Each structure stands twice: as C-alpha cells, then as structure tokens.
Amino acid sequence: MDHVVTKATLGLTHPAQIDHPKISFAAKETDLVEWKGDILAMGVTEKDMTKDKNSKFENQILEKLDSKVNGLLSEVSGEEDFTGKAGQSTVIRVSGLEAKRVSLIGLGKGPTDPSSYRVLGESVASAAKASQANNVAVALASLEGLTPESKLATASAIAKATLLGSYEDNRFKSEYKKPSLKCVDFFGLGGGPEFEKKLKYTEDICSGVILAKELVNAPANVLTPEVLAEEAAKIAATYSDVFTAKILDTEQCKELKMGSYLGVAAASTNPPKFIHLCYKPPNGPVKTKLALVGKGLTFDCGGYNIKTGFGSMDLMKCDMGGSAAVLGAAKALGQIKPPGVEVHFIVAACENMISGTGMRPGDILTASNGKTIEVSDTDAEGRLTLADALVYACNQGVDKIVDLATLTGACIVALGPSIAGIFTPSDELCKEVVAAAEVAGEKFWRLPMEESYWDSMKSGVADMVNAGSPKGDSITAALFLKQFVDEKVQWLHIDMAGPVWNNKKNAATGFAIPTLVEWVVSNS
C-alpha cells in the first residue's frame, strides 16, 4: 500500500513502500464440502456444538462436515474442550474434504448484532497468518434469525475484521513476512450486486482505517506537521473530483489571528501547517454542511510543563490521533462519494516542544475569535490548537461539527482504554453519532458537560485559563472548547485518548473512522 510516503528528517529513517496483497471477497453457492482451499472457517455457537448421545453433532452442517472427516471434528472438539464459547478457536488438519483445514470459531451464545461477528473475521485473519493460507471460506453453522439485511451486515463485519486483522504495519522493519491471504469466500450470507456494493463500502472504510493506523504509528521524526499536510494534500489530489485542499502556513495563520494555535507551535523548529480539505459531492445539491476537526499534535513533550513518568512521552506520537481519524475518514469518503453533503476536514498540525521561543506558563494567548487564554499548563496544548480550528470551522458556514482529540488522560481513567468519551450540548447530534457508532461497532459513552465546573477555568487576568482543576479534567476541557463554537452550530467533542492505541499489540487502532464515515453517510 502507498498510503504514507514520507521523508526522513532525523535518524535517516525512511518507511518502506510495502505492497500489501489485495484481499478479494466473493459469495459462493456451492456445497461447503466441495469448496477447495486452505481453510474452511466455521462460526459456531454453543448451541451448534451440542452433540447427541452418540457424540454426533445435532447441527446438520457440522454433522455433514464431520461425517466427511470420519468424526474428527467431534473428536478434536471433545479433546480440546471446545464448546463454542466466545473467544475459543481451533484449527484442524483434515482429509476427506477438498479443504485442507477446518477452523471452528466460537461465537458464544450467539452474536447480538452484526458487528459482534468481527471475532470471526479476526480469527480468520489469525489462522490465515499462522498457516500462510492463500484462500479461506467463511460460513456460519446456523443462519437462524438472520434476515437478508443482517446477512449483508454480518458479511461486512466479518470482511472488515479480516481485512484489518490481516494488515500489519511493517514499514519500519528490515525483515518481515508478507501477508499471504488473497481470497475470502462467503457461504450463506447473500450475494449479487447488493453484496458486492456492501463489501466495496467495507473495503473503502478499511482503507481509511489503515491510513489512520499508519499515520499514528509513524514516529515523530518521520511524520512532521509538514508531512501530515502532504498526506492530506495527497488525498485531495487522488480524489480531485470531490476534494480541494488548502494548507495554511504560519504567516497565513497570523493573518487569521490564530494566536492560540500559533502559541503552541512557537517552540518547534518544525513549522505548523493548518490543513483544510473540503469535500463536495460530484453531482446534485448540498443539503447539509459538516465539519470534522482533528487534533494534530505530531509530537507533544508537554512544553515547559514537561511530561514526567515512565511511558508518558514515548507514545506522544499518538497525539495526532484525532487528525488521523479525520484524514482516514476523508480517504474513505473520497471513494464512497456520498451525495447531498459537504464536509470540511480541518487539522491544526504542529508540535509542542521546548525552546526559548516557546510559550511559558502564565503567558496570555489571543484566539481568532478574540477570546484571551492564560496558559496555566503548557501540557494542556491540544485544546489551544482546537480553539482556533473550531473557530475556523464555524466560519465555513457548517451546520454540525464533530471534533476528535486525544485530549485528556482523565478520560482514560474514567472509561478505560477502549471507550471514547463524547461531550455535547446537543441531544440530537449525540443520538446521530451514537447510532453511527452502533453500526460501526465502536464504543462511545456520553459524559456530562457540568457548567458549574467552569468556575475552575476562570482567570484573574484573562477570559479563561487553559487548564483548571485535575478533577473532572475531561469535562472542563470540553467546556473550554465550547467557548470557541458558534451557538448556532451543533457541536460534539470526542475524547479518544484511550482507544487510539492498542497497548497489547503496541500499535494504532484506527479508531473512529468507521463511525465518522457512517455519520457523514447518514447525513447525506
């Protein structure tokens, strides 16, 4: 894939250009036992694994397969205590089938919604990697209760998890195994034009997720603000039928009086870049104007209030996770091309560093809407960059704004590593985003915007401070951002500090892109 073509600045590091094989998806109507390939992956519930007194499966599909392999599936599942519980999986080498292996993947008591089937896709990707499989078939032992619409959604969820599970970011490794999976065949989950359209939509979203992963994974000596702006411009150039790009430099930002954003950027030798992509549909009128605003700190050392403690700074390359989500969504939408909606993608990209030119605790910054901010904490910098970005977004005449930021550690304390916090004064917009997240299979939780907490953000010499009491910091950060949003514009803030990074895999997640795409499409 050629998502991130960056230039080295420090350490002579160049990301390798890796050609990831394209995985094709197809619907098959032949008999499962006749399918020829490397792995036949069966999603099974606990009920599907029930056996009679003769140790034969009561599920007809499993019993048919088992009879072809002389009872091996029943025997191995019994020996390994495989009961179909969620998270269980086993891969069995077989003879008697055209398939080389059969993989049984537990779905528990049964997925409650289509997105719950992603465990099946993840297991397919894992099994394919382990055995270097080229082609895999996917089927469910039971299709009970699945409507034609839910079958499509289930196939989409499985395909998405398979695509993302197969992807590995090896750009900075000198040695690695190339992924082998090239083809996934679906049985019993639909077919025809609607199936192909749904799977193409899924592939488009995944391409945006992978872009976001690569942007967040890239180290700060490779992904500077300038390079992030180049990646944004590349999206606009690739989808020039629907995108235009505007990249503002320091002098242009000064003309727009972005003192809050430029105050953060002042210490770094890497100059800031203010990114504005605009999507307009190729045909038809525009009915709704939206803005996606992403925090774009390509590195954050904390400034003079420097970060301390183990593990607090090495992952600060992730502090542009909001901008990665915004640009990942832009890439996906450039391929999907939803009608009737105009979308502005806005990122105030910079670094938060230390130097004699940098902002100091106690400095007063003036944002582009004229409001003044006393810097009580140089490490509460993300909200300072977002302040001017939100003012700029409102000036584009949009109806709704969603901003995304790895803003506060307090949100991780409150919601843990896999749930993002959402803050908004608009119940209507909250319902829209939550509905989009449910379709996308991502986790969000609405937190209160407690106005009484604003008292801790008052300054004796300016309109406000940028950081108040550490108690309820996620809430006061959202209240701070609210000061820079026009009251006529519906606005929602997403604090994604937790789910931007997977600590177990030590890699970016690509969080929020599916939700953002679903939200934009729902407004089209």
Residues designated catalytic: 307, 383
Nearest Cα to 62, choosing from 97, 108, 110?
97
CA distance 516 to 330: 9
From residue 111, give the alpha-carbon distance in Å to each of 59, 119, 156, 381. Answer: 17, 10, 14, 42
DSSP letter, residue 256: T
Distance from the first to the final alpha carbon of the chain: 29
**Torsional class of 200: left (φ above 0), alpha (ψ -120 to 50), beta (otherwise):** alpha
d(CA 500, CA 324): 10
Separation in Å, CA 194 to CA 150, 152, 156, 520 = 12, 8, 11, 21
Indicate the DSSP class of residue 115: G
State the pairing for strand pair 288-300/341-352.
parallel
Amino acid (1-letter code) at residue 344: H
Cβ-in-10-Å burial (0-12, 13-18, 19+) of 20 comes to: middle
Tokens at 247, concatenated: 């990249």
Tokens representing 46 are: 């606990």
Four-point Cα dihedral 221, 223, 225, 229, nearest 10: 150
With beta carbons less than 8 A apart as the criterion, state whether 419 and 412 touch: no
What is the 8-class DSSP label of residue 95?
Answer: S
Distance, in Å, from the CA atom of 464 to the CA atom of 467, rounded to the nearest integer, reads: 9
Tell which residue, 405, 426, 168, has the closest CA to residue 264. Answer: 405
Q: Which helix (H) or strand (E) holds 291?
A: strand 288-300
Q: How many CB atoms lie within 10 A of CB 436?
A: 22
> Do 242 and 205 form a contact (C-beta atoms < 8 A)?
no
